[in-house]
Structure 1
Amino acid sequence: MKMPGLTVPYFTQWETPAMTLPVLVDGPPALQHDPLWRNSGAKTIEEYVRGAGNLCGMACLKMILAARGELHPTLSLARACTTYGSYVVNELDASIKGLIYAPFVTFITERFGLEAEVMTNVETVAIPEFLSRRQFFMASVHHSIRWPEQEPASKGGHLVLVTAASSEAIRFHNPSGHDEASQASVTLSLVSFERFFANRGVAIGF
Structure 2
Amino acid sequence: MAAEVHPHLTVPDLLALLDSGRLVMASVHKEIRRTENSAPGRGGHLVLVTGRQGDMVHFRNQSGHIAHARTASLPVAKFAEFFAGRGVSLA
Q: Percent identity?
A: 36
Structure 1 residue 162 corresponds to structure 2 residue 57: no
How many Å apart are 1:164 and its aligned residue?
0.4
| Contact 1:134 1:204 (8 Å CA) reproduced | no
Q: Paired residue for 2:74?
A: 188
TM-score of the superposition, structure 1-length normalised? 0.42
**Aligned residue pairs, count:** 91
How many Å apart are 1:167 and its aligned residue?
4.3
2:10 & 2:51 partners in 1: Cα distance? 16
CA RMSD of aligned residues (A): 1.3
Q: Paired residue for 2:85?
A: 199
How many Å apart are 1:154 and its aligned residue?
1.3
Flag as ranges the 4+ runs of structure 1 deviating above 4 A. none
Higher relative contact order (CA 8 A, sep 6+): 2
Q: Paired residue for 2:59?
A: 172
Q: Paired residue for 2:29?
A: 142
Map residues 5-24 of structure 1 onto 2, 5 A cutoff.
Answer: none
TM-score of the superposition, structure 2-length normalised? 0.91
2:39 & 2:18 partners in 1: Cα distance? 25
Residue 187 of structure 1 aligns to a residue whose secondary structure is strand
Q: Which runs of 5+ in 1 are unaligned?
A: 1-113
Structure of larger gyration radius: 1
Residue 194 of structure 1 aligns to a residue whose secondary structure is helix
Residue 195 of structure 1 aligns to a residue whose secondary structure is helix
Higher strand share: 2
Opposite residue 64 of structure 2, the aligned amino acid is G
Opposite residue 85 of structure 2, the aligned amino acid is N
Higher helix share: 1
Sort the Cα spacing of 1:175 and 1:158 in 2 relative to 1 into closer, same or farther, 3 A: same
Opposite residue 69 of structure 2, the aligned amino acid is S
2:15 & 2:39 partners in 1: Cα distance? 23
